[in-house]
Structure 1
């Protein structure tokens, strides 16, 4: 029992520790943005730099798109090398066990919460305009719960607010399973890279087209055709690493150039407001390329990115990242009431307490949720791998 409870602290064979740091920092930034957005109306005047930082974390979820594209596509490439075939069964089972149980439990809770709230709000006499907006929004979400259920919620009103990311990711992986063996994996590396590079440009062109029609906005970035380039960036990185496996040191100069470039690209992607052409069209490309470069540096055999991001302190949060992502909004909503007890307005001096309490509660509460819902399926998924390792050990 003790080992089960503390499993989030344990290292895993073959795991790249530095990627744990990327996941952990990524989910912290997602939480930073969520708490900021949902608390903004109660905030007093804040420094520009703080608003700029918090509001720009809207796109940080692309960390998981790029990382997912890199790891999953890289795993498929390795399977093709060993078996010369697409691992349909393994891929579908692994994705299903990792995503579906946790997702549908969170969706069921969100549906129940939305339904109860919607029913309660309807009985309020003479509702304010804000309350009417909430009632309408809630009812629309309930009417489109079917879209949440079949992973189309990035195109419709959502019961599970964070479900758009899972929907988009599942759509791309579904296309990978259905079409990949026919138009991609049966090709040579050169042809695959050309195909992926062409596909990578499509979301940018789609964003430009919508901008020309006056229809490109932050909401449109949830749509699959405008966002999947981040996953393709991860896939292209996997192709490069497969072509040129991590070996000797990059050298200080090359390492520094790549690191500085990634930071500059992130700053560029954050340097324009949400009405600017570059922010709505090209900024996403700067950002996902920067993320791919950071991942590349993180998986090197040495360097500050590997050392810093590979610290064991990131491991437990990395383990429960998906749980935290699914539940952070309602959990931080509960903790907000505790953090702001006795406060009438969120000032700069109150903000640290708000974030510390909300982050701490959301992460600690996600731990048992993970153990109850996700961990049993993860262990079931990894059981064949464990048995294989034991057999190899006996043979040796």
Structure 2
């Protein structure tokens, strides 16, 4: 499997935006930022936008998983379901269920109390449908991703045309679902389910499927593409304000702003620039040791950050107060990575697409 540069740097940006956004929700440390300057407030909004950070992760994840499947298909003309699901299990389950084990022990000790439904949705990766408690609510995004990857390999083996059409269909369906939910709201519907967020992963998949064609068109305009995408992402929050002044805010119902369809396309452009574009300042920043290391820890940071950012039942003990809560988050993430993730990642490597075929493989259908 080809190793792409800048990916850990993008993961680092994603998790740092999530951290800052959650700190903004639970702490008053950003209230000192009361600039009246419109541009500075847009920068502030962007830096504290944890939903945008999640969508960066979604697009990157879809791109990487599909690239891995394409690599396996090109080398072997088959896809091993067994290896795929073993890799996903070894990557996600150990660190995740260790966090839940810690939560269970803390509940036995009276520190936490999660109800039965909270436990069921956490254990079954269905948290997107019940994200009402802070310490496990953030697992909604992992729930969306895992449900997608239950069926994506099955779509993939049906052939090139079918997989592309499926990704496009998902990207188109989400804006339609946003319109339906806007005019016909339901009790369970929110912006944390696959019905309104799966398009980010699907777009990452589609970019991987059309990678060569897209790169051929963009390679002569890299600087313009990056400047346009970065500037557009920064001003997107202001678009709603200006459209509302002329009565056209409804345009954004299907497309969203910083975590909708428009933002996903802009994230995809920045992803391509970051990985395949010129190796200038942005590239060097993403591939610096600090960004690479934070990106490497990003999954464990994601798992542990809500525990330290917010305490039990809203009571903020010393370890849950800023700035030590950030220190403890990173310490817990480092412990999780080196003691749990890394040993299982070594085991996962034995089931890589480069390894000798084992178990059931499926001949990939040829496009008609």
TM-score when normalising by structure 1 = 0.74
1:359/1:71 CA distance change after superposition, 3 Å: same
Structure 2 counterpart of 1:250, from 219, 239, 254? 219
- Specify the alignment match of 1:39 in structure 2: 27
CA distance in 2, matches of 1:99, 1:323: 10
1:27-64 alpha-carbon deviations (Å, 9 max, x no partner): 11110011111124x87564152763454333311111
The reply to whether residue 229 of structure 1 matches residue 199 of structure 2 is: yes
Aligned equivalents of 1:144, 1:326: Cα separation in 2 = 16
Deviation at 1:285, TM superposition (A): 0.7
Work out whether residues 63 and 291 of structure 1, in 8 Å CA contact, stay in contact via their aligned partners in 2: yes
Find the partner of 2:6 among 12, 18, 32.
Answer: 18
Quick check: 1:35–1:329 contact (8 Å CA) kept in 2? no
Name the structure 2 match of 1:150.
124
Larger relative helix fraction: 1
- Note if contact 1:259-1:293 (Cα within 8 Å) is conserved in structure 2: yes
Q: 2:95 aligns with which of 82, 90, 102?
A: 102
Greater length-normalized contact order (CA 8 Å, ≥ 6 residues apart): 2
Secondary structure, in 3 states, of the residue corresponding to 1:86? strand
What is the alpha-carbon distance in structure 2 between the residues aligned to residue 216 and residue 263 of structure 1? 35
For 1:169, the equivalent position in structure 2 comes to 145
In structure 1, the residue matched to 2:255 is 282
The 8 Å contact of residues 72 and 354 in structure 2, kept in 1 or not, is answered as: no
Q: Could you list the per-position Cα deviations for residues 312-364 of structure 1 after superposition, in whole angstroms to 9, with x for gaps in the alignment?
A: 22121111111000001223447x755998xxxxxxxxxxxx45x44333213
SS in structure 1 of the partner of residue 49 of structure 2: helix
Q: Please, what is the CA RMSD of the aligned residues?
A: 3.4
* Partner-residue secondary structure (3-state), 1:186: coil
* Number of the residue aligned with 1:125: none
Q: Contact 1:101–1:373 (CA<8 Å) still a contact in 2?
A: yes
Unaligned runs of 5+ in 1: 1-12, 120-137, 342-353, 390-396
Q: CA 1:114/1:54 → structure 2, altered by over 3 Å: closer, same or farther?
A: farther
Give me the whole-angstrom Cα distance separating, in 2, the residues matched to 1:280 and 1:339: 40
Give the structure 2 partner of residue 130 of structure 1.
none
Instruction: Please list the CA deviations of residues 246-296 of structure 1 after superposition, one character each: whole Å capped at 9, or x if unmatched.
Output: 689923xx11221123124323543348x9645653121111111111110
Q: Is the 8 A contact 2:83 2:351 kept in 1?
A: no
Distance change >3 Å, CA 87–CA 384, structure 1 → 2: closer
**Aligned position for 1:211:** 182
2:214, 2:75 → 1: CA distance?
16
User: For the residues of structure 1 that align with 2:187 and 2:234, how far apart are their CA atoms?
Assistant: 22
Query: Given the alignment of the two structures, is residue 369 of structure 1 paired with residue 356 of structure 2, yes or no?
Result: no
- Asked if 2 retains the 8 angstrom alpha-carbon contact of 1:115 and 1:142, the reply is no
CA displacement at 1:192 relative to structure 2: 3.7
- Report what 1:81 is aligned to: 74
> Aligned equivalents of 1:44 and 1:258: distance in 2?
34
Q: Distance in 1 between matches of 2:339 and 2:20?
A: 26
Worse-matched range after superposition: 319-328 or 276-285: 276-285
**Contact 1:56/1:270 (8 A) holds in 2:** no
Aligned pair in 2 of structure 1 residues 43, 72: CA closer, same or farther (>3 Å)?
closer
- Contact kept, 8 Å, 1:249 with 1:300, in 2: the verdict is no
Distance change >3 Å, CA 245–CA 200, structure 1 → 2 = closer
Match of 1:393 in 2: none
Match of 2:83 in 1: 90
Equivalent residue number for residue 308 of structure 2: 331
